[in-house]
Amino acid sequence: METLLIVDDDVSLLETLKMHFEEIEQDGQPRYQVATATSAAAGLRAAQEAMPSVVILDMMLPDRTGLEIIEEMKGLCGDARIILVTAYHDMETTIRAMKAGAFDYIHKPFPDPAALDLVVERALEYRQLSRRADEVHRENAAARLGDIVGTSPLMQQLVKEIGKVTGSHATVLITGESGTGKELIARVIHNYSYDEPRPFIGINCSAIVDTLLESELFGHEKGAFTGATAGKPGKFELAEDGTVFLDEIGDMSLMLQAKLLRVLQEREFERVGGVKRIKLRARVIAATHRALVEEVEAGRFREDLYQRLKVITLQIPPLRERREDIPPLVKHLLERINEKVHKRVTRVPGEVMERLTRLPWRGNVRELENVLTRAVVLAPGDVLRGDDLPALESPLPSPEPGRATSAHTASAMFAAPAEDDASLIPTLEEAERQLIARAMTVTKGHKGRTCQILGISRPTLERKLQKYGLAQSQSPQVHTFPVKDAS
CATH of the domain at 17: 3.40.50.2300
Asked if 383 and 347 count as a contact pair (C-beta separation under 8 A), the reply is yes
- Which of 138, 154, 176 terminates a domain? The answer is 138
d(CA 201, CA 311): 20
Instruction: Please compute the mean of the pLDDT values over residues 430-443 and round it to a whole number.
Output: 82
Asked if 5 and 69 count as a contact pair (C-beta separation under 8 A), the reply is no
d(CA 249, CA 294): 14
302 and 433 part of one domain: no
Q: Residue 275 belongs to what domain range?
A: 145-317
Asked if 238 and 202 count as a contact pair (C-beta separation under 8 A), the reply is no
Task: Give the residue among 275, 208, 196 at the shortest CA–CA distance from 241.
Answer: 196
Q: Is residue 475 one of the residues assigned to a domain?
A: no
CB atoms closer than 10 angstroms to residue 160: 10
Asked if 324 and 151 count as a contact pair (C-beta separation under 8 A), the reply is yes
In this predicted structure, what is the pLDDT of residue 471?
Answer: 64
Q: What is the pLDDT of residues 36-80, one digit of tens each?
A: 999 999 999 888 888 888 999 988 899 988 888 888 888 777 778
Q: Is residue 71 one of the residues assigned to a domain?
A: yes
Asked if 187 and 244 count as a contact pair (C-beta separation under 8 A), the reply is no
Alpha helices by DSSP H, listed for 109-251, are 113-139, 153-165, 182-193, 210-218, 235-238
In this predicted structure, what is the pLDDT of residue 486?
Answer: 35
Residue 409 has pLDDT above 50, yes or no: no
Tell me, what amino acid is at 130?
S
- Taking each helix axis from N to C end, the angle separating 428-442 and 406-414, rounded to the nearest 10 degrees, works out to 70
- Give 79's Cβ-side CA count (13 Å radius): 12
Alpha helices by DSSP H, listed for 172-275, are 182-193, 210-218, 235-238, 254-266
d(CA 439, CA 445): 8
132 and 166 part of one domain: no
Q: Is residue 272 one of the residues assigned to a domain?
A: yes
174 phi/psi in degrees, rounded to 5: -105, 125
Which DSSP state fits 23?
A: T
367: exposed, middle or buried (Cβ count in 10 Å: 0-12, 13-18, 19+): buried
Number of independent structural domains in the chain: 3
Instruction: Please compute the mean of the pLDDT values over residues 225-243 and round it to a whole number.
Output: 86
Q: What is the pLDDT of residues 158-212, one digit of tens each?
A: 999 998 898 888 999 999 999 999 999 999 999 889 888 888 999 999 888 887 8
CATH number at residue 245: 3.40.50.300
Alpha helices by DSSP H, listed for 317-405, are 326-341, 350-358, 364-378
What b/e sequence results for 278-294 when a residue is b if at least 16 CB atoms lie within 10 Å of its CB, and e otherwise?
A: bebebbbbbbbbbbbee
Task: Give the residue among 90, 130, 86, 132 at the shortest CA–CA distance from 108.
Answer: 86
Q: Is residue 23 one of the residues assigned to a domain?
A: yes
Which range is most confident: 246-250, 269-273, 399-403, 472-476? 246-250
Task: Give the residue among 64, 63, 56, 188 at the shortest CA–CA distance from 124.
Answer: 56
E strand or H helix at 288: strand 283-288
In this predicted structure, what is the pLDDT of residue 36?
Answer: 92
336 backbone φψ class: left, alpha, beta (φ>0; ψ -120 to 50): alpha
Q: Is residue 12 one of the residues assigned to a domain?
A: yes
d(CA 358, CA 29): 57
Q: What is the pLDDT of residues 246-283, one digit of tens each?
A: 999 999 999 999 999 999 999 999 999 988 899 999 99
292 and 330 part of one domain: no
53 and 156 part of one domain: no
Task: Give the residue among 407, 415, 409, 414 at the shortest CA–CA distance from 433.
Answer: 407
Task: Give the residue among 109, 83, 108, 88 at the shortest CA–CA distance from 98.
Answer: 83
348 and 392 part of one domain: yes
- Which of 317, 350, 384 terminates a domain? The answer is 317
CATH number at residue 368: 1.10.8.60
42: exposed, middle or buried (Cβ count in 10 Å: 0-12, 13-18, 19+): middle
Residue 371 has pLDDT above 70, yes or no: yes
d(CA 321, CA 317): 7
pLDDT band at residue 133 using 50, 70 and 90 as cut-offs: low
292 and 372 part of one domain: no
105 and 151 part of one domain: no
262 phi/psi in degrees, rounded to 5: -65, -40
310 and 335 part of one domain: no
Q: Is residue 433 one of the residues assigned to a domain?
A: yes
CB atoms closer than 10 angstroms to residue 229: 9
Q: Is residue 481 one of the residues assigned to a domain?
A: no
d(CA 486, CA 268): 58
In this predicted structure, what is the pLDDT of residue 397?
Answer: 39
In this predicted structure, what is the pLDDT of residue 134?
Answer: 55
Residue 139 has pLDDT above 60, yes or no: no
411: exposed, middle or buried (Cβ count in 10 Å: 0-12, 13-18, 19+): buried
Q: Is residue 480 one of the residues assigned to a domain?
A: no
Residue 228 has pLDDT above 80, yes or no: no
Residue 247 Cα to chain centre, angstroms: 14
Entry pTM: 0.55
Tell me, what amino acid is at 67?
L
218 and 301 part of one domain: yes
218 and 311 part of one domain: yes
d(CA 34, CA 156): 59
d(CA 421, CA 253): 42
236 and 371 part of one domain: no
CB atoms closer than 10 angstroms to residue 225: 12
338 and 265 part of one domain: no
298 phi/psi in degrees, rounded to 5: -85, -5
